[in-house]
Amino acid sequence: MIDDTKIRDYIISPNLSGEDLTQEVAGVDQLGNRIDVSVIEERPLTIFLNNQEIVTAMTIGDYPEYLALGFLRNQKMLSNKDKVDAIDFDAELNSIVIRTKRKTNYEDKLKKKTQTSGCAVGTVFGDIMDGIDGLKISAISTKVSHLYSLSSKINRTPSLYLKAGAIHGTILCHQDKPLVYMEDVGRHNAVDKIAGWIFDTGTNPRDKILYTTGRLTSEMVIKTALMQIPVLVSRSGFTAWGVNIAKQVGITLIGRLRGQRFICLSGESKLIWDVDLSQIKNVAK
């Protein structure tokens, strides 16, 4: 049974009611016992921008509108000034068309693409650093107590990961409150869903925290920077390039957040140590 007290405060909580997101598969365990296991579904989603086919992404299939909007936004194919006239999703064809008032043409940009470190094969079109050079994120102060609170709330939230595994989560937060929880087979897809929700709702990202279950790679930091989110947090580790980009643009970067342990490799001056450090030292021992 789902503990509703853990998910009702989210604007969007993990999609546990989607029957087509998982399937039961018969197998055996280490003792040879027959078991039925929930496994994550994967399906293709082809994204069009007006008449141009952009990409086919492997996804679990929920929130296709947010995924398409966020992908195009993070690829800089949609700007904040663009007006979306229509979104046409065809479940049978596994395709979605984003139609804008401004006509677009990205043939040249589509000729150059970079395969990133994102699981399920992330793809960035054009120069991966395009839009990052010269970009500075307005830093915000972050309470250490808020980090601990977010970690506890998020890790105890019922999710597809806890149900079936093989999936990543990305959560948009404000202070110590998780707001929008998205999951997908690739962490880049989960981030794009967040970006699409922000773009669609007009939400201010500049006072938010982005929490991810995945690694803090260059791709993750770049997407966070393009979304104008000043704090990126993960329970996983870092890559050197991800850290360098975070320092370059001014993102507070926190990884290996588990219990009352974490490592901050960028923006440490913006942390507010509002906890009893002696108690944390005792826990760390």
Quick one: pLDDT band at residue 2, thresholds 50, 70, 90? Answer: very low
Q: What is the pLDDT of residues 123-134, one digit of tens each?
A: 555 555 677 888
Q: What is the pLDDT of residues 56-96, one digit of tens each?
A: 999 999 999 999 999 999 988 998 889 999 999 999 999 99
In this prediction, residues 238-262 reach a mean pLDDT of: 96
> Do residues 232 and 156 share a domain?
yes
> Do residues 160 and 97 share a domain?
no
> Do residues 161 and 238 share a domain?
yes
> Do residues 278 and 233 share a domain?
yes
Is the pTM value of this prediction over 0.85?
yes
Q: What percent of the chain has pLDDT over 90?
A: 74
Q: Tokens standing for 143?
A: 């309470």
Final residue belonging to a domain, choices 95, 125, 155? 125
Report the mean per-residue pLDDT for the chain. Answer: 89
Residue 73: which CATH number? 3.10.20.10
Q: Tokens standing for 245?
A: 């980009």
Residue 59, in any domain of the structure: yes
CA 264, CA 205: separation in Å to the nearest integer? 21
Residue 173, in any domain of the structure: yes
Residue 168: which CATH number? 3.40.140.10
pLDDT at 213 over 80: yes
Which residues span the domain enclosing 193? 142-284
> Do residues 79 and 180 share a domain?
no
Number of domains within the chain:
2
Final residue belonging to a domain, choices 70, 97, 125? 125
> Do residues 172 and 279 share a domain?
yes
pLDDT at 249 over 90: yes
> Do residues 83 and 150 share a domain?
no
> Do residues 150 and 212 share a domain?
yes
pLDDT at 281 over 70: no
